[in-house]
Amino acid sequence: MERDDLIEYSLNTHHSEEHGKALRKKILKVTLLLTVITAVEVALGAYIKQSSGVWIYVKWTFIALTLLKAGYIVMVFMHLGDERKWMRNVILLPYAGFILYLIFIALTEALAVGDAWSGVAI
């Protein structure tokens, strides 16, 4: 039996030839950006030694650039930027909250365990 009360959301994403052209331009731009970021990361990693004084800044630069890359992949390639605001939030917020806490607690504990093994009084 055919039902006429179902809404076909899959058709929502269809677009015109013109709009497609603009989209392809945007995709090309993001591709160039991701490639440049990766090249910068490799250059930093290859030329700045981990023993150097500025390594700590390089490390945070890596993390910032990675999050930037991830943002472009999720928002543009995966079209999450085009979805409704609360769909975005339902996907990103619980994940971000849980993982940030996990990173914090795991690394804090790891440093404490390391100190205990090396005999540093806590």
Partner 1 sequence: MAGNTVQLDSKTLWGGKESPFQTSYGKLMMWFFLVSDALTFSGLLVAYGFVRHDTLEAWPIGEETFNSLPFLGHGYPLIYVALMTFILIVSSVTMVLAVEAGHRMDKKGVVKWMIATIIGGFFFLGSQVWEWSHFIHGSEFGRIELMDGSEAIVKGHFGEIKNFTVLESGLHHKKGDVITDDLMHTFQHAAKEGHIEKGGKIHLHDGSVAQVNKARDHDLELTIKMISSDSKRNIGDKIDGKEAEKLYYASLYSGTPKVTYGAPWFEDGEHWLPTKNEYGPQQYAHFFFFITGFHGFHVFSGVLINILIFIGVVKGTYHKRGHYEMVEKTGLYWHFVDLVWVFVFTFFYLV
User: How near is the Cβ of 99 to partner 1 at its closest, in Å?
Assistant: 5
Give the number of other CB atoms < 10 A from CB of residue 11.
7
Could you tell me which of 100, 122, 104, 99 has the C-alpha nearest to residue 112?
122
* 30 contacts 76 by C-beta, under 8 angstroms: yes
State which amino acid sits at residue 60: W
* Contacting residues toward partner 1, per CB under 8 A: 5, 7-17, 19-20, 23-24, 27, 31, 34-35, 38-39, 41-42, 44-46, 50-51, 59, 62-63, 65-66, 69-70, 73-74, 76-79, 82-84, 86-87, 90-91, 94-95, 98-99, 102-103, 106-107, 109-111, 113-114, 117-118
